[in-house]
Structure 1
Amino acid sequence: MPTDNYEPNADATGTEPTAPPRTMLRQCAVQGAAVILVLSLAWPYFGLRSEPLPWPETAFGIGAVALLLARLSHQPSWWLWIHALFVPAAWAVSRLDIPPGWFLLGFIALLLFFRGAASGRIPLYLSNAATVETLSDLLRQHPGVRFVDLGAGIASTLVPLAQALPDKHFTGVENAPASWAIGRIRTRGIANILWQHANLWDQSLGDYDGVYAFLSPAPMAALWQKALREMKPGSILVSNSFAIPDVSPTEIIQVDDTRQTQLYCYRIP
């Protein structure tokens, strides 16, 4: 995934950001411009002819203009699809006569599981079994005993790691309420897991020998700066799939799975 121009907003105390609002405002501006442009032409044209506005064609027209504006403004490829399909999809759903309460329920459910995507452009990613096994082999070779998973989801990584490595201690940090609750249930009774409901930027990394993160491209530069400030020399930062921009990893481990996962390992100098 592209970096989408992530711009950390560290404050005077050095606290790392939640995601800046500029990116979402930029995407809303693209959609808004497309709606205004298409409707400003369509309403007068069909109004003067006393004809109703053809909403299917208008919706797809808005999607096409939004796609063009997104491309001209150099949006990432995945945003192009979102801009092209957003209004047509909204029109199609409006034809289903779904009670509004279901939309509210769906929004709440998404927020409970994907709070990180809304606040920090960090979606819920789950590490697969092959990745966890590879990570377990890596940690066996590492002399440290304390490791933290930033954005730990539903503990799908920490539970098997803690069971495979009972001599090491693991901390999971998750801020999406529903994911945290599921993880809390899964980790209950596992003595070498500390499960925390917290923002990863508020988590001090100084007490850990290793950090694992499966986030997104957006926060990686800021995470590296946080790691350099807080982590001990010789400790390790492992990023699943997303490399730190302009920083050469100490090692890249290829996972033998269908998606060809790569683990980018960075030794703290």
Structure 2
Amino acid sequence: MTAPPRIFDRQAVRRHRDRAAPGFADVDFLFAAAADALLERLGDVRRDFDVALDLSAGRSGLAGRLPARHTIAADLSPAALARTGPGTPRLAADEEWLPFAEASLDLVVSVLSLHWVNDLPGSLIQINRALKPDRLFSAVLMGGETLRELRHCLTEAEAELRGGVAPRISPMADVRDLGGLLQRAGFAMPVADTERLTVRYADPVTLLRELGAMGEGNALADRERCALRRDVLARAVELYGARYAGGDGRVPMTVDLIFLAGWSPGPDQPKPLQPGSAKQRLADALDTREVRVPRR
């Protein structure tokens, strides 16, 4: 088997979160909004769970809020994990190498963490295996058009001043692709949907500063190790303001939150009917006339 491509530097991801941990509470609004939206979706599930695992516990703020008797707090960053406080079992764990026994968990959640995983299909398979039959996985991650304004302006500024473009912003998965990954990982009744948020900043420099304070800085494996040139940054800021600033001078940041949910297979789950087993014609149900299409 071939190894998955190394898109992200996982050690850099951990360092970013470690450094961000002390002041994370000052910039946690995006994570709080994502966590609240995930909890709202869990509220529609009429079931209580025994053992839950929060794979993003250091930044999700979900400690004590999940519909489960017991919660295990896990995070890639030990420093971020310390923010969960006492009273909850804590484990520094990598989503790419989960140390949980097969069929040992009832609920697994993740808030704005899995978009930094290199082998997302492999992580989803591990999560599915760790769940007991007919148990739930629910996550939210960044994807779609997230940071599209920043991506466009940095790309154009670097191409103009350097004659080339360095990797600055992570590739973002589409909601349809992520829904397909749930199916590939063996989840039953997979669901994927998206919500778009627009956050407005006084200027692009403040936006960049807060991304770093969130622990969401550049952790691409093939990133440049030197800092962004000042002239490139100045040009990107100029482009950002000229193209996207509103009447008040503030600039937007687009964030697409992609929500995933799926159940581990279980014997009592509804199964799709076999083709040709329907007892009623679709045309009758729709009160329309059936038209046969000739074969070519």
Using the size of structure 2 for normalisation, the TM-score is 0.41
- Identify which of structures 1 and 2 has the higher relative contact order when contacts are C-alpha pairs closer than 8 Å and 6+ apart: 2
Name whichever structure is richer in helix by fraction: 1
